[in-house]
């Protein structure tokens, strides 16, 4: 009897140990996995996706990049502290002068002797436009920061002739009236502006001179004809749908203009602003996936039209996300107009959303060939000034990291990690509700450039670090790998004057010796960029 008891106890013990082993094996969290394969390529990353935007709105121009009264300004009125911060963003392309502003802007008001330039009522954002800063000041600024200017013409209240004359003023060396006028204004050489947008958000009822898709297509086609007859080398951007209100069909606009302008334009411009309206972090950080969905829908439409297009040996139409950002706090009546319009302050979760947008551009590098953060200074911007100083907002840091590192060929990355479903949420209050299922906690993109790999990983998880095995499928990780991290103590952490809570930190580098894989733990609510060599 005693022996039977002992056997029984031993059996129980053995079963308990086995059960424990089985359960610990199953409950032990598996690492997430990221597989990089340099042979699985999406397309060439066009550096123009790191573009930016300057509009005559609030304190973006006056009190932002240009402020003759400021002690920081040089003899041309350019704020040098801002200029330095702008230079570090390594901006390849700068859109100007609007935005909604452009639809009632007449470029001739902003050239010639400053004391002869007429002040105008600025109707889009309710300011007095002094016109002290115009075409030539902007081109000078762009050249100083080594960026390509990108102009939008007025197809709202403006005429196709006015658009033609602007191209003539900027791009024709000599002879016709407008070219000679530029020379008289002190610019002997043409500015050679390559990128021209045919209006701004012309589908929006808020746009001055708003048109329906058919009328816009006609006006844009004729403007394009005159502009190209003036300079055949220019690249033209059509305004795609920006009106995502529930009573409107944005696809109809895009389908019409792509069909009508398929032989004419080089890009279709899309805009997207998102906000954390319901204060729901997980919904909000998934919003770049909606941009990615919209990209794919428009790509399909472009592909359909390209089959029928007659474009000679020109490239197909590409997508230009020429306005994107987070904009919801300063979006009520009193914050929308006047000198201090749209002065949104950003936090860490906003920086992660910007990282998400940039990752989405990289993952769609075959079709997204231009993008412009809206806007550069003070107005929903990465740089914020007051008379006596400036600071870098949280959203500055992801853009700076990408624009200085993420070049070459975009890779199709395999990611295996935990996911979550969002609730129904609103990107913008006037938009239709959306929902995202199976959102991976890790949002990843990778670029390969001449033996160098750059991997950007956003850990969307609010509380947990995610241990991840990173594999190279072709070639080995080899040598010192630099690691940069954008993070802060809390998702609501903000920067301010004299307080940089959220920023890029260079972490200890990783030394990898011909490794086919390595493990890295991505901290909660962070963006990490890992950069090093792959050798064959």
Q: Give Cα 239 to chain centroid, integer Å.
A: 17
Q: Which of 48, 55, 179, 349 binds ligand AHR (CB under 6 A)?
A: 55
Minimum distance from CB of 390 to ligand AHR (Å)? Answer: 20
Of 55 and 443, which has the nearer Cβ to ligand AHR? 55
Q: What is the 3-state secondary structure (H, E, C) of 299-354?
A: HHHHHHHHCCCCCCCCCCCEEEEEEEEECCCCCCHHHCCCCCCCCCCCEHHHHHHH
Name the helix (H) or strand (E) containing 150: strand 148-153
Minimum distance from CB of 487 to ligand AHR (Å)? Answer: 27
- Report if residue 485 touches ligand AHR, rule: CB under 6 A: no
Structure tokens at 370: 């231009």
Candidate segments 98-106, 360-368, 410-418, 432-440, binder of ligand AHR by CB under 6 A: 98-106
Q: What is the DSSP code (8-state) at residue 377?
A: B
Candidate segments 97-105, 258-266, 414-422, 457-465, binder of ligand AHR by CB under 6 A: 97-105
Q: What is the 3-state secondary structure (H, E, C) of 471-525?
A: EECCCEEEEEEEEEEEECCCCCCECECCECCCEEEEEEEEEEEEECEEEEEECCC
**β-strand 195-198 against 368-374: which pairing, if any?**
unpaired
Minimum distance from CB of 495 to ligand AHR (Å)? Answer: 21
CB 341 within 8 A of CB 518: no
Q: Give Cα 332 to chain centroid, integer Å.
A: 23
- Report if residue 323 touches ligand AHR, rule: CB under 6 A: yes
Residue ranges of E strands in 186-310: 195-198, 235-239, 267-274
Q: What is the distance between the alpha carbons of residues 62 and 388, in angstroms, rounded to a whole number?
A: 15
Placement of tokens 């993420």 in the chain: 406
Beta-ladder partners of 446:
411, 455
Catalytic residue among 55, 162, 168, 201: 201
Q: Which of 91, 274, 374, 406 binds ligand AHR (CB under 6 A)?
A: 374
- Four-residue CA torsion sign, 33, 36, 41, 47: positive
Reduce the DSSP state of residue 84 to 3 states and report it: helix
Q: Which of 122, 162, 168, 201 binds ligand AHR (CB under 6 A)?
A: 201
Q: Which of 48, 276, 375, 445 binds ligand AHR (CB under 6 A)?
A: 375
Of 261 and 270, which has the nearer Cβ to ligand AHR? 270
CB atoms < 10 A from the CB of 223, how many?
26
Of 117 and 271, which has the nearer Cβ to ligand AHR? 271
Of 195 and 441, which has the nearer Cβ to ligand AHR? 195
Of 45 and 94, which has the nearer Cβ to ligand AHR? 94
Minimum distance from CB of 325 to ligand AHR (Å)? Answer: 7
CB atoms < 10 A from the CB of 91, how many?
24
- The site for ligand AHR, by CB under 6 A, has a size of 10
CB atoms < 10 A from the CB of 373, how many?
27
Please list every residue from 5 through 24 that binds ligand AHR, using CB under 6 A. Answer: none
Of 309 and 371, which has the nearer Cβ to ligand AHR? 371
CB 449 within 8 A of CB 411: no
Placement of tokens 């002992």 in the chain: 6
For residue 529, give every residue at least 6 positions away whose Cβ sits within 8 Å of its Cβ, in sequence order, or none. 401, 405, 406, 454, 455, 456, 457, 483, 484, 485
- Report if residue 356 touches ligand AHR, rule: CB under 6 A: no
Minimum distance from CB of 197 to ligand AHR (Å)? Answer: 10
Q: Does the active-site annotation cover 201? A: yes
Of 243 and 400, which has the nearer Cβ to ligand AHR? 243
Minimum distance from CB of 114 to ligand AHR (Å)? Answer: 25
- Report if residue 100 touches ligand AHR, rule: CB under 6 A: yes
Beta-ladder partners of 152:
197
Q: Does the active-site annotation cover 323? A: yes
- Report if residue 103 touches ligand AHR, rule: CB under 6 A: no
Of 100 and 248, which has the nearer Cβ to ligand AHR? 100
Beta-ladder partners of 35:
414, 471
Name the helix (H) or strand (E) containing 371: strand 368-374
Candidate segments 96-104, 285-293, 365-373, 444-452, binder of ligand AHR by CB under 6 A: 96-104
Q: What is the distance between the alpha carbons of residues 484 and 462, in angstroms, rounded to a whole number?
A: 19
- Report if residue 274 touches ligand AHR, rule: CB under 6 A: no
Candidate segments 92-100, 115-123, 283-291, 479-487, binder of ligand AHR by CB under 6 A: 92-100
Minimum distance from CB of 499 to ligand AHR (Å)? Answer: 26
- Report if residue 104 touches ligand AHR, rule: CB under 6 A: no
- Report if residue 200 touches ligand AHR, rule: CB under 6 A: yes
Minimum distance from CB of 179 to ligand AHR (Å)? Answer: 30
Of 99 and 288, which has the nearer Cβ to ligand AHR? 99
Candidate segments 94-102, 209-217, 344-352, 362-370, binder of ligand AHR by CB under 6 A: 94-102
Catalytic residue among 55, 162, 305, 323: 323
Name the helix (H) or strand (E) containing 216: helix 213-230
- Residue number closest to ligand AHR, CB atom: 99
Minimum distance from CB of 388 to ligand AHR (Å)? Answer: 26
Which residues belong to the active site? 201, 323
Interacting residues with ligand AHR (CB under 6 A): 55, 98-100, 200-201, 271, 323, 374-375
């Amino acid at each position: 009897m005693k022996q039977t008891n002992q056997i029984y106890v031993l059996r129980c013990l053995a079963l308990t140990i086995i059960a424990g082993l089985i359960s610990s094996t199953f409950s032990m969290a598996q690492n997430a996995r990221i597989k990089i394969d340099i042979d699985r390529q999406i397309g060439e990353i066009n550096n123009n996706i790191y573009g930016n935007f300057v509009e005559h709105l609030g304190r973006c121009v006056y009190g932002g990049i240009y402020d003759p009264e400021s002690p920081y300004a040089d003899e041309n009125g350019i704020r040098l502290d801002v200029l330095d911060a702008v230079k570090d963003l390594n901006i390849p392309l700068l859109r100007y002068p609007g935005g909604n502003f452009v639809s009632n802007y007449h470029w001739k008001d902003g050239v010639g002797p400053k004391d002869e330039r007429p002040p105008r009522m600025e109707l889009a954002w309710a300011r007095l436009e002094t016109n002290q800063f115009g075409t030539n000041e902007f081109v000078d600024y762009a050249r100083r920061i080594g960026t390509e200017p990108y102009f939008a013409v007025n197809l709202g209240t403006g005429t196709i002739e006015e658009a033609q004359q602007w191209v003539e003023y900027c791009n024709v060396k000599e002879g016709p009236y407008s070219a000679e006028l530029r020379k008289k204004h002190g610019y002997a050489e043409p500015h050679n502006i390559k990128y021209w947008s045919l209006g701004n958000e012309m589908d929006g009822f808020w746009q001055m001179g708003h048109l329906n898709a058919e009328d816009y297509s006609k006006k844009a086609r004729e403007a394009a004809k005159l502009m190209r007859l003036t300079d055949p080398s220019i690249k033209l951007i059509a305004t795609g749908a920006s009106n995502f209100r529930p009573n409107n069909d944005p696809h109809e606009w895009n389908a019409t203009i792509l069909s009508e302008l398929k032989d004419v334009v080089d890009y279709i411009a899309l805009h997207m602003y998102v906000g954390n309206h319901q204060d729901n972090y997980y919904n909000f950080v998934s919003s770049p996936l909606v941009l990615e969905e919209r990209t794919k829908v428009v790509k399909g439409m472009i592909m359909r039209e390209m089959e029928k297009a007659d474009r000679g040996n020109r490239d197909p139409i590409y997508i230009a996300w020429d306005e994107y950002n987070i904009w919801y706090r300063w979006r009520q009546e009193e914050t929308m107009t006047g000198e201090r319009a749209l002065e949104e302050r950003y936090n860490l979760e906003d920086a992660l959303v910007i990282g998400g947008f940039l990752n989405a551009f990289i993952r769609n590098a075959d079709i997204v060939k231009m993008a412009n953060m809206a806007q550069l200074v003070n107005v929903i911007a990465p740089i914020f000034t007051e008379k006596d100083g400036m600071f870098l907002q949280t959203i500055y840091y992801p853009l700076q990291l990408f624009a200085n590192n993420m070049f070459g060929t975009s890779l199709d990355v395999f990611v295996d990690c935990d996911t979550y479903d969002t609730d129904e949420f609103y990107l913008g209050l006037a938009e239709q509700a959306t929902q995202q299922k199976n959102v991976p906690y890790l949002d990843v993109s990778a670029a390969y450039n001449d033996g160098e790999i750059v991997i950007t990983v956003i850990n969307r998880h609010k509380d947990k670090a995610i241990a991840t095995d990173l594999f190279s499928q072709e070639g080995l990780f080899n040598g010192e790998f630099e690691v940069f991290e954008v993070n802060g103590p809390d998702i609501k952490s903000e920067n301010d004057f004299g307080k940089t809570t959220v920023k890029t930190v260079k972490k200890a580098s990783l030394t990898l010796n011909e490794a086919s894989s390595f493990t890295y733990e991505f901290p909660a609510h962070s963006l990490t960029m890992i950069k090093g060599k792959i050798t064959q």
